[in-house]
Amino acid sequence: MMGSLQSHPDRLVIAIAALAWAWMLGEAAAAQSLSCCGPHPTPAADLASWMAMVGAMMLPVTTPAVRDVASRSFRSRRLRVVLEYLLGYAACWILAGAAFVLLRIHPLVHDLRTAAALCLLAAAWAALPVRARWFARCHRQIPLCPSGARGDLDALRQGAVHGAPCIKMCWPLMFACGITGHDLLIMIGGATLAATEKRMFRLDRKPLVLGAIALAAWILVKWGCVGR
């Protein structure tokens, strides 16, 4: 098992993402709903659900970076540096999740119309000229020391270097997903947009804009069914 992960560390990322999806699907099935969370979770439950959402939606797009970090490390250290990379990446999203949980004290951050507005903001966000710079930084490599404490720190930094611009690009959609109670269809749509953008050689804004608008439309349909 360990030998397989040393040779293919990206499998660890896929396994974590699969577990996150399985948990959220199980919660939604238990609630007999498309959303895996109730309307007013505790702050701890809200943050835990946020990180599960990040694991499900965002970890799969890190697999190329994980393979890169592993390939630039000694084989005996590959699993360790991948875990450190993921920790640096997750730390950025924990900060974003904490901000989201703090905002949840306001009633508007429980309203599906706010989620729809955030999806429309995501469409406008995709058209910002600065997004091309964020897109480039999502692929930025930093030098990795091959061993020692410096190597551990470099792996953590590489995760944060990728996580920070990822948040800048994706926060409107992620906040929208959180407000919907982590609606599975919204999550699948958001994950598809994130994966599509990550695989682009050059930034193409059109599918991102149209996809975000489609998600806003679905949320408004859901609000029309359950919100009035």
Mean pLDDT for 74-89 is 91
Task: Tell whether the model's pLDDT for residue 53 goes beyond 60.
Answer: yes
The region of weakest confidence among 88-92, 104-108, 119-123 is: 104-108
Q: How many CB atoms lie within 10 A of CB 146?
A: 12
Provide the terminal-to-terminal Cα distance of the chain, rounded to the nearest Å. Answer: 52
Min mean pLDDT across 3-7, 26-30, 183-187 is at 3-7
Phi, psi for residue 141 in degrees, rounded to 5: -105, 140
pLDDT, position 5: 59
- d(CA 46, CA 180) in angstroms, rounded, equals 12
Phi first, then psi, for residue 129 (nearest 5°) are: -60, -35
Is the distance from CB of 28 to CB of 184 less than 8 angstroms? yes
What single-letter DSSP state applies at residue 77? Answer: G
Residue 6: predicted pLDDT: 61
Arithmetic mean of pLDDT over the chain = 90
Q: What is the mean pLDDT of the segment spanning 122-150?
A: 91
pTM of the model: 0.90
pLDDT score for 223: 78
DSSP codes of every residue in 19-43: HHHHHHHHHHHHHTSSBSS-SS--H
